[in-house]
Every structure is written in C-alpha cells, then in structure tokens.
Amino acid sequence: MEKEKVNIVSRFGRFAPKTSTRGNLITYGLVIAVFIVVQILVVTGNFSSLWKGLLVPLCTYVILAVSLNLTVGILGELSLGHAGFMCVGAFTGAFISLYMENAVPSAWIRFPLALLAGGLAAALLGAFIGVTVLRLRGDYLAIVTLAFGEIVKNIVNVLYVGRDADGLHLSTTNAAALKLGAGGEMLINGPQGISGTPMDSNFTIGILLVLITLFVTLNLIHSRTGRAIMAIRDNRIAAESIGIDITKYKLIAFVISAFFAGIAGVLYSHNLSTLTALPKNFGYNMSILILVFVVLGGIGNMRGSIIAAVVLTALPEILRELSDYRMLIYALVLIFMMIFTSNPKAKALREKYALRKLWAKLAAKFKKGKEAV
C-alpha cells in the first residue's frame, strides 16, 4: 500500500522538473560561472561602480524569485505577500545586527545570526499565516496575502524601539514616548526605519545564499515531500483520497518559501545604510515584481526564475542611456519573454533546439564518425 501511494504521488507530478541530477548541476554551474566571470571583471577593473552596486540586489531578487516559485510553481497557489515576508526578515535581521554590533564585533558571527533570526521570523509568520489562510485558494488567497504584506509594512512604520541602561523600550506612538535615559539610542525609528545597519552583505555571500536556496528548493522538489506537494497542486481531491495530508504539505512549502524570503530580506537590509519600509521596497509593487520574475521565467522552472530576475533587474540599467525609450523597450522585452515562455509554438521551438538535444545529436554524429574510422 505504501509503495502504491508513492507511485501515485509520483504520477501526479506532471509538471515536475524533467531534469535529473545533471540538470541541477547545470543550474549550480550557471550560478558559479556567473560569479567567476563577475569576479574576473571586478579584479581587472572592467566593472563599473554602478554595476557593483547592483550585485547584492541581483542576488536578493534571485532568492526571492526562486522561493516564490516554490509557492506559485510547485504548490500551485498564488501568493502576493512575499514582500511582507521579505520586510519581516529585513527588519529582524537589521535589528539583531544593530543590537549585537558592540557585543559581537565579528561580522562572520553576527551576520549568520542575523540571517537565521530573519529567516526564522519570516518562517514563523509564514506558519501563522499559512495555518489561517491556506484553506483559501486562487484569488481569495492572493487577496489575503496581499493584505498581509501591507499590514506588515504599516506595522513597521509605526514601530519605535530604543534601548538604554534599563533595557529595550517599545512604543507605537512616537520616539518621545520611549522616554530613553541618558546614553539611550534609537534602534527602530518608525517611518525613518533603521539607520546604521552594519554593511555585512557582499556578492560572495549573496551567491552562497543563492546556491543554498537552490540546493534546498531543488532537493525538496525531487523528494517524496515535493512529489506530494505537486500531487496536491495537480489534483487536490485525488491527493487527499490517497491519504496525503493537504494542510501539512501546503504548510511545508509555504513556510520554506517564507523562510528564504526572510533570508533575502536580511541580505537586502545589510546592503543599505538606512532601511525604511517604503512602498517601493516592501509594498504591493515589490510582490508583483517578484511574481513577474516567476511568471516570465516559467512557473515551476527555477533556472528560468534566476535568468528572469537577473535580466529584468539589469535591463533598466543597461537601457539607462536611452532615457526616452527605456521603459518602452523594457515593456517590449516583457511581452516578448511572456510569449517566448508561454506560447505553444515557442515552446515547441525551444524543445526542438534545446541545448541538450543539440548536444545529443553532436555526440551521436561524433560516435558514428569514430565507428566509421
């Protein structure tokens, strides 16, 4: 019975990635190759300061895209609250780093603790939200998660936290209500956010976090848990009829997705001198932007999400000199990518000229030539 259950679960995963370990290695290799190329360009002085400033945000967006793809592509649920989880992780991580800056001067100890704290805070909130709203589906879930993201942003904007010799002080009114003693300092200053966060983020750490995110996500997808999650996505009733715990597996995917969104938030916050909960950083538009990365890269396609996040983040900077036509070209690229990833004819063309097929043909010709000799 147990074997039959596993086989049924496997059969339901019709959108499961066809790539095996080789496909995963190609994805890891792509990320590592980009890292090596960028490092060579930086060392040789062929990388401008503008592009250096984009490296950490690029890693942040890649982590966000991959983690959201776990919810949208693998679980099959539309979530618009990813910016909210990112906000929770960003402010938790920045608060922890600022609070421990004097006690733990080493960034190699402080920053991992901030990453863990930010990820766990986002995951706990994800678990709470998941338990309450994951029974909803489709548009209803999207609306609730969107509201959650806006609520988180607004709560952070009315939060005042300071510390002095008596410990931490908290208020939702104003800074004066904290009544800090002599030598006290503000840690979170309402709409002005957090200032003075240690700049512990860098491109190397960002790439390492991208690889960790990919490793966890891809291994989850190919595991028994991943097959159960995809079975729920493909046919909820059939999955429930063979004994799959719907709530449990949906919650696992949602919490892991929230955890890595929090990690991305910590990486993002430690690249800024001042962290504020503005709509452009953690609002509705940020959640939509992350969703655009997922959709354009291919729902359920982790490698596609990486490429879409990099291209769409870098494109506005590449087109900056064309100030009058920059957004027009950006929109045209979005339309082209949407057609290329979703149109049936375009899909057939991609399959026909896929690199793995071309490589197989070349290998077959080489083998035949060798046998003829």
pLDDT digits (tens, 9 = 90+) for 181-226: 887 888 999 999 999 899 999 999 999 999 999 999 999 999 999 9
What confidence score (pLDDT) does residue 203 get?
Answer: 94
User: Which residue in 252, 294, 249, 233 sits closest to 69, CA to CA?
Assistant: 294
What confidence score (pLDDT) does residue 280 get?
Answer: 86
Element (H, E) at 14: none
- Cα pseudo-dihedral 263, 267, 269, 270, rounded to 10: 140
Cβ atoms of residues 57 and 271 within 8 Å: yes
Dist. CA 231–CA 262, nearest whole Å: 27
Topology given in CATH for the domain delimited by 2-342 = ABC transporter involved in vitamin B12 uptake, BtuC (1.10.3470)
Write the pLDDT tens digit of every residue in 68-105: 999 999 999 989 999 999 999 999 999 999 999 888 88
Dist. CA 43–CA 84, nearest whole Å: 37
Q: How does DSSP classify residue 190?
A: G
CA distances for 335 relative to 295, 296, 305, 311, 341, angstroms: 12, 9, 16, 14, 10
Write the pLDDT tens digit of every residue in 142-180: 899 999 999 999 999 999 999 988 888 898 888 888 888
